[in-house]
Amino acid sequence: MPSPTRRSFLSAAAACAATPLVVPQAVTHASRAPSRRGKLKILVLGGTSFLGPAIVRPALANGHELTLFNRGKTNPQLFPEVEKLQGQRRRPHPDRPNSPPQDLKALEGRTWDAVVDTSGYYTGEVEDVCKVLAGHAKRYVYVSSLSVYPDLGANDQPIDESSRLAECADKYVQDMGKEYANYGGLKRHCEDAVAAAFPDGAVLVRPGYIVGPTDPTDRFTYWPARFLRGGECLAPGDPDNDLQFVDVRDLGEWIVHLLEQGTTGAMNAVGFDGSISTAEFLHTGKGAVNHQCSFTWVDDEFLLANEVSSWGEMGCWTPKKMNGHASNAKAIAAGARFRPIAETIRDTADWVRDGRGNGEWRAGMKAERETELLAKWKKKG
C-alpha cells in the first residue's frame, strides 16, 4: 500500500485542524502592539478551534470588538465576553439526507469592518457567506492553504504567489475526494469567491503546516512528545534539509496585524525569516526539552522504501527531492514575525505533558515501529 503523499497529508491535516478540541486557557502569547487604525469590529467565522482562538486572543488584547459565528458546538465555553452568533454555513450534502440546513440568518443586516474566515472548505458555502456579507464588511480574510499550488511537493522547486493554482473539474463538488485530492482546488475556488465578492478587500492567507499547542493533527506534536520520551531517536532524511511551518500564535497575531494595517492580497503564511534545517530543529528540541536524546540519521530512500509517510508517520520530514519551498517574502514584508522554534517546541511539549486533550494520536511513529526501523537500518549497514 503506497504511503500518503506530502500533499495529501497537508490537505488532510488542514481539514483535521477544524475538528473539536479542548483549548487550554493558559496557552497565550503577548500580542504585538496595535496599529493606529483604531478599534475594529471583526467577525470571525469559527473562532473556537486551534487557529480561531489564536486570532481572537490578540484581537481582544488590542482592543477590537469581536463577534464569533459558528455552530456553538466546539469549545463553547471560550470567550464568554465575546458576542456569539449561531448558525450553519455548510450546505446540505446531497448524499446525506440528514444534513442540517444551511442557516446564515444571524449574519443578515449586520455590519463589520472585517471578516476572518477560518472554516471555509467548499466553494458554494463561501459564496453563500460572501453574498450575505458583501457590502457589509470592508475586508475579508480567507484562510486558504499552500495546497492551492499543485506543483508544491512534486519536486524541489520553490513556489511563490504567482505559481500555478489548482482547479477542480467541478468547483461545487462537496467531497474532498480520495486522499483529499480536491482539497487544493476547492481552496483555490473559495479564494476566487472571496476575491470576486471583495475585489478591494480580499486577504488570501496561504499557510502550510500550522503547528504548536492545541494542534489536533499531531503532525508536529510527534517531535515534542518524542523529545520528552528521550533515548535514541530516528532522525529522518538529510540533516541539512530545510523545514517550513508556522506557529499558530504567530499566524493568528499576523492576521490581526494585516487587518489593522489594511493589507490585502495573497500571501504564503510560512516560516521562517531565514532557513531552519532538520538538524537544527532536532538539536534545538533536545536542548529545549530533554538532553537525554540521541539521533540516528536514516536516509530518505530507506524511509520511502519502508512506506514512512511524510508529515504523517514521520513528523517534520519531507524527502529532499520533493521539498519544494514556498516563498514568504510577501508575508515578511507585510509584517509576519516568527518566534524562536525553541519556544514552539517547549510550549507544545508542555501541552503534551499536560495531557494533549488525551485520545488517540492522529500522526506520528509508534515506539515499536521506530525500534524496528532503527534495527533494520543498522542491520543494513
- pLDDT tens for residues 118-145? 999 999 999 999 999 999 999 999 999 9
The DSSP annotation for 59-97 comes to: HHHTT-EEEEEE-S-SSTTS-TTSEEEE-B-SPPPTT-T
Given a cut of 70, whether residue 2 has pLDDT beyond it is no
In this prediction, residue 42 carries a pLDDT of 98
∠ CA 184-185-189, rounded to 5° = 120
CA atoms within 13 A of residue 134's CA, in its CB half-sphere: 15
Q: Are 264 and 201 contacting, i.e. CB atoms less than 8 angstroms apart?
A: yes
**Over the chain, what is the mean pLDDT?**
92
* pLDDT (0 to 100) of residue 330: 98
- What is the rounded average pLDDT of the residues 150-159? 93
Alpha-carbon gap, residue 23 to 357, rounded angstroms: 8
CA distance 249 to 47: 13
pLDDT at 381 over 90: no
CB 101 within 8 A of CB 88: yes
The pLDDT value recorded for residue 357 is 85
Task: Give the model confidence (pLDDT) of 5-14 as tens digits.
Answer: 545 545 654 5
- What's the pLDDT score for residue 3? 46
Is residue 25 very low, low, confident or very high in pLDDT (cuts 50, 70, 90)? very low
Residue 56: the pLDDT is 98
Burial class of 135 by CB neighbour count within 10 A (0 to 12, 13 to 18, 19+): exposed
> Within a 10 A sphere around the Cβ of 266, how many other Cβ atoms?
19
Q: Model confidence over 81-113: pLDDT tens digits?
A: 999 999 999 999 988 989 999 999 999 999 999
Residue type, 165: L
CATH fold group of domain 6-380:
Rossmann fold (3.40.50)
pLDDT tens profile 216-271: 999 999 999 999 999 999 999 999 999 999 999 999 999 999 999 999 999 999 99
* Percentage of residues of the chain with pLDDT beyond 90: 87
Measuring CA to CA, which residue among 332, 342, 179, 223 is closest to residue 276?
342
What is the rounded average pLDDT of the residues 16-29?
40
- What are the residues whose beta carbons fall under 8 Å from the beta carbon of 231, sequence distance 6 or more? 292, 293, 294
- The residues near 98 (Cβ < 8 Å, ≥ 6 apart) are none
